[in-house]
Structure formats: structure tokens, C-alpha cells
Chains A and B, each alone.
Chain A
Amino acid sequence: MKKKRELMNRREFLRESTLVGTVLLLFGSPASEDSDSSNDNEPIHQYGMGIQVDKCIGCGQCVDACKRENDVPREPFFFRTWVERYIILIDGTAQVDSPNGGSEGFPEMVAENEIMRTFFVPKLCNQCANPPCVQVCPVGATFITKDGVILIDKDYCLGCRYCIQACPYGARFLNPVTSTAEKCTFCYHRLSRGLKPACVEVCPTEARIFGEIGLRSSLLARFMRFNKVQVLKPHLNTEPKIYYANLDGEVR
């Protein structure tokens, strides 16, 4: 009789442990929940950049610094960032150029008395919140990080170039060395060490302001408070995170 009871206990034990195991399998282990919640506690960044168009003097140092920092080929066909010069003539027509991305400055193009207004516009990947490049990548080699930066996994990229076609801003190119798509990453390797992107670091007039969107203490938030800002090609609904202050309507 005693032996029978023991046997029943063993049965009950087995039944109960199977039940517990099934429940754990179905709803996940408590340990995994713990690790999830610890991720939630990490500070979530949302990086963006402000550009004071009026402060850019077209020196091209940002273009040069970017090429050095990121090993971008020096030839004039590959740019993670570049500077455009706009010359609006008296008759209202616009002339735009960016010789070698503006990295060597700009030669005089028009006599001064023919110019109505002129200005420089730095360009780079807009790190869109609704990025068409990420949408079209067939294998997910280009992706958006938690902190809102769009990166490319060059070990996964097929080199189909669909993302280059999908980018409305001409911010992507095919790196001729790696044969994979490439573009500005906000110098992600520097961000992870608490540094600013190279272009921001070298700008002599502080035309580029890097920071976190929504964080009141950041320089970017201050820039957004004191300026009326505009993004490029807003009608395409890409939701860029590069904000331009005093942007002229001629800029596309």
C-alpha cells in the first residue's frame, strides 16, 4: 500500500512537472522576461542633425573630414556628405554646383553684380524615419537602428542597388572597393564612443548641430527651439531627421 502511494506521488510529480514545463514553453521563462526589461531600461537615443544654412561658408572641410574618417574613395563620384552652392541670379533663375562635392571650395562662376542671393547647403543621408531605402532592400542588409540611424551590413548587401534608386536625396553610392551600397552613418563608430560625427566636429562655423531629438538638454533641441526648420522633399513622406534652418525654396 505504501509503495502504491509512493508510485502515485511519482505520477503526480511527473504530471505536474509536465504541466509546468508546458506552461513555461508557451509563455516563456521568467528569466527571459527579466533580460527584456533590462533592455528597456537602456537610454534610447534618437539622433538627428540641424543645419544652419546661413552659417555654412562652403569651406568643404566637412566633406574632406568625412572622406578621411570613413575611407570614402577620393574620386569625385562617391560622397557620404557634400556641399551645394546656390546662386540665385537677378532674373530669378538658380545655378547650382558642387565641384568635387565642395571639398576644394568653389570657383567664381558669376559676376557679383548679377547675383541676387547666394548660399551653401550641406547635404547628407537624411536618416529618414520612414526610409524608402530600408523598405526596398530585398534582404534587409540596410536597416534602421533603435537610435534612428540607418546602417548597411556590407557582409549581407547583394549589391543590387535598389536602395540607391529608392533614395530621393542621392545620398547613396556603390563603394567601388567593397561593391556594396554606402552612405552617411552619422559616424556611428564615433557615436558609440560618445563622439560627434566627423563633419560636425570640424565645421568651423558650427553650421552642423548634432544631438538627440526630443532631449531638452541637447544642442539639437535648442536649435529646434530657436529656429524655424524645414526638411528636404517633405511631400515624399520620408520623415527626414536632418533639419534645415533658413532653407531656401530652391533647394531640393
Chain B
Amino acid sequence: MENLIEQLQPILKQVVGYIYPNEVELHWGILIVVYPYITGLVAGAFILASLERVFEVKEVQPTYRLSMLTALAFLIIAPLPLLAHLSYPERSIEIFLTPQLKSAMAMFGFVYAWYLMIVLMLEIWFDYRKDIVYWARSKKGWRKYMYYLLSLGSLDLSEKAIRFDRKAGKFITIIGIPSAFLLHGYVGFIFGSVKANPWWSSVLMPIVFLFSAIVSGIALMILIYGVTTLFRWKPIDMACMDKLASFLLYAMILDISLETLDFIHRMYESVESIHILGQLISQKLFISLVVIQILLGTLLPLGSLASVKLFRLPDELRRLIYFGAAILVQIGIFSTRWNVVIGGQLFSKSLRGLTHYKMELLGIEGLLISIALLFLPLFVLYIIIKILPPWPEAATTPLSSIAKESSQ
């Protein structure tokens, strides 16, 4: 408690105007910024994977499996910032046991479980089953048993079984797309449905969250695909990169259009909160919103991606532009989450004043833990890739030989 008081005392001096006395403490810190950022990456990576599967965009095929595994790695970590933020994480089980069904937050457990267990895990399993069976037969030692376990005893590799795998995978992807929309749209709803907060309360919030999720997911896959290919000393498939960059550009145009619509709508309606929100942007969010989110995170990458479309540029330069744009987009989308979560708490609900957020460095709500949580999914991804390599050369030998083997 003494720690908290020590932190709050200097903030009291930085308050501008009038805030309700209980508003000095900012309740959702950087951990709650990390949470929608990570779930956004999950939804975005999954939707990218679905493009290949459902809409049969052949160019992005090299990223299909990698995207699915990335989505899984980030999804496994997604609840951690939430749990770390709770005063009593051990009581969180009550959300499953005695959920309050009118609460948007109570639905998190169910949406999460549905997405993780039913959609992602199943889709990955169906996609990998024939490879898992092959590895179970070809590997030695404990790995052999691990793959047997992963196959869940389903060792049939007949053409009929493989055809069923494909069909089931496609069916789950079709269910998966609305599920991914649900997962991240729901995160937007958590904020958008708070009528007490005029910065959050917007029917567009879930949709804006969703499109920014798609943007961040595609940008992440450009980075992960690029880096993993370089580290494996393989040539980068430029047709794939070009397609990913095109998708990124289109998703960004949709995203910025929606956000602009939201902005214009607020300005035009000009309700009583407009004055304090204007002060919020000019005094508290200028760097994170105007400079980082809009200029660096949106307009600069948008311009550079568009320039690739307009001019014929050599492969090397295009790759550099794509990487640069993808990194800027990540920074931009993280700022978007910051501006929503932290920005929404920097003004008083009395609409008369602004408060201040001082991020800790250490401690559970600190910067270091947040950075660790942001990089943890990459570590998880590394392990998953070790178990289920998504590379074309790791896949099974031609199916006919396995089918022959299994029929013997």
C-alpha cells in the first residue's frame, strides 16, 4: 500500500483541471495494453492463414502453416497479461464456474476456449495429421512416442482419410474466420460498450479493433516469414511477400478509413465530451497518437507500400521497404492499443480534467514484465516450430509412399 501511495502522490500534482478524487489511480495499465495487442496478432495471423485455405490465395501458401502456429503461440500467451493484472488471479476460475452472463468480460473464457480448443488446435491437428503419423513412424526415441501421442491414435493414411482431413480442415477454417472476428471484435466490445467513457463508447470500436488486428497480423507474418526464411538460408518467395504487402496495404486503407470515420463522426456530432477529448489529444496523446500512431505507424508505411505499387523497384529494395513498413505498423498498432486503453483513462469522467499515467519499470504492472510478455509468444512459437515444423522440406515424403506403406 505504501508503494501505491508513493506513486500516487506525485500524480496528484500533475492533475490538470478537476478529476473525481477516486480517479487519481489509473486502473488499467500497460498489461491491459499488451492484451488486446496480442489477441489482435492472433486474429490477424489466423485470418491471413484462412485466406490461403478458404479463398485459395496460392501466393501466400508458404505462410499458411507458419501463420497458424504463430496464432497458436500468441493465443497461449494472450491470457497471461490479464491474469497478471488481477488482484486475485486464483479466483479467475470463477469466470468459468459462476459466470455472470450479462458481463462482456465473463465471455472471455468461453470465447478463448472455443477459439483455442475448437478452432485453432483442431485446424492445426487436421492439417498436420498425416505429417505427425509420418514422423511417428520415422523418428527415433522419445520423439517417436511424442508424435504417436499427438496423432491421438489416428494413424489411418488412406486417401479417404487424407481427403477427410482436408475437408475437415477447410470446414473448421470456415468456422474459424467468424470465430477470429468474434475473438477480437469481442475485445473491442469490452471497451466499446463502456457507456461511462466517451473515448471508448463507440459502436465502431469492435470493427476498428478487428481491422487493426488484421493489419498487425499481416505485418507480423511479413516479419516472421522474412526472418525465419533468412535464418534458414532459404530464398524469400517474393511473390508471397508482394501478396502479403498488398494485403497489408488494403487492410491498412480499410483500417484508416474506419478510424477516420470515427474521428469525423465525433467531430461532427460534437457532444459535450468533445472539449475534454480535444484536450486529451493535444496535451496527453500528441506524441503517441498524432506522431507515432498516425504519422509513423500509418501514413509512412502506407506511403511506402503504395510507392512499391506505383514504381518498379528491385527485389532487395522491396524487401527492405516491406520489413520497414511491417516494423512501423507494429509500433503503430501498439500505440493504437495504448491510446485506447491508457488514453481512455487520462481524462476525468467529470469531463473537467486530465490525469497522468506513470509507468513502473519493475513490478508486475511494469515495463519489463510487459516486454517479457510481448516476446514470450516468440519463444513459444520457437518450441512449437521444433515440434511441428511448418517448412515445406520438413513435410512428409510424397503421400503415395506413405499410403502404400500403411496399406501393407
Contact = CB atoms under 8 A, between A and B. Distances in A.
A170 B347 CA distance: 12
B23 A98 contact: no
Given A76-B12, A157-B88, A161-B27, A135 B102 contact: yes
Interface stretch (A40-48, A175-183, A239-247): A175-183
A243 B18 CA distance: 23
A78 B27 CA distance: 13
B22 A98 contact: no
Interface stretch (B122-130, B154-162, B190-198, B249-257): B190-198
B156 to A, nearest CB: 43
A140 interface: yes
A171 to B, nearest CB: 7
Nearest to A237: B195
B4 A176 contact: yes
Contacts, number: 131
Contacts of A180: 87-88
A123 B92 CA distance: 32
B331 to A, nearest CB: 26
B91 A139 contact: yes
Given A169-B349, A252-B350, A139 B21 contact: no
B103 A78 contact: no
Interface size class of A (residues with CB under 8 A): 35 or more
Contacts of B21: 76-77, 79, 82, 98, 100-101, 170
A137 B27 CA distance: 15
A107 B89 CA distance: 43
A236 B22 CA distance: 20
B87 A166 contact: no
B91 A77 contact: no
B24 interface: yes
Q: Which of A95, A100, A180, A252 has the most CB of B within 10 A?
A: A252
Contact of B105 (A73, A138, A177): A138
Contacts of A96: 17-18, 350, 352
Interface size class of B (residues with CB under 8 A): 35 or more
Nearest to B350: A252
A160 interface: yes
Given A96-B350, A98-B18, A136-B103, A176 B1 contact: yes
Contacts of A137: 100, 103
Given A138-B99, A156-B94, A166-B194, A174 B25 contact: yes
Contacts of A94: 352
Nearest to B344: A165
Nearest to B25: A77
B349 A139 contact: no
A75 interface: yes
Contact of B348 (A101, A158, A170): A170
A170 B351 CA distance: 11
Given A77-B8, A165-B28, A168-B196, A139 B348 contact: no
Given A139-B100, A161-B27, A180-B87, A167 B196 contact: yes
Contact of A135 (B4, B17, B91, B103): B103
Contacts of A123: 20
Nearest to A162: B105
Given A139-B99, A165-B27, A170 B349 contact: yes
Nearest to B2: A176
Interface in A104-159: 123, 132, 135-140, 156-159
A172 interface: yes
Given A161-B28, A165-B197, A236-B196, A171 B87 contact: no
A164 interface: yes
A219 to B, nearest CB: 28
B95 A139 contact: yes
A201 interface: no
Interface string A179-213: 11000000000000000000000000000000000
Contacts of A174: 25, 27, 87
A173 B24 CA distance: 10
A180 B86 CA distance: 10
A97 interface: yes
A138 B27 contact: no
A158 B350 contact: no
A123 B21 CA distance: 11
Contacts of A170: 19-23, 348-350
Contacts of A171: 22
Contacts of B195: 132, 168, 236
Given A77-B5, A160-B85, 14 more contacts: A75-B8, A77-B21, A78-B22, A94-B352, A98-B18, A139-B95, A139-B99, A140-B100, A157-B87, A158-B91, A158-B95, A170-B348, A170-B349, A252-B350
5 contacts: A140-B98, A157-B87, A158-B92, A169-B349, A170-B23
Nearest 3 CB-CB pairings of A with B: A159-B87, A170-B20, A168-B196
Interface of B: 1, 4-5, 8, 12, 17-25, 27-28, 82, 85-89, 91-92, 94-95, 98-100, 102-106, 108, 190, 194-197, 345, 348-352
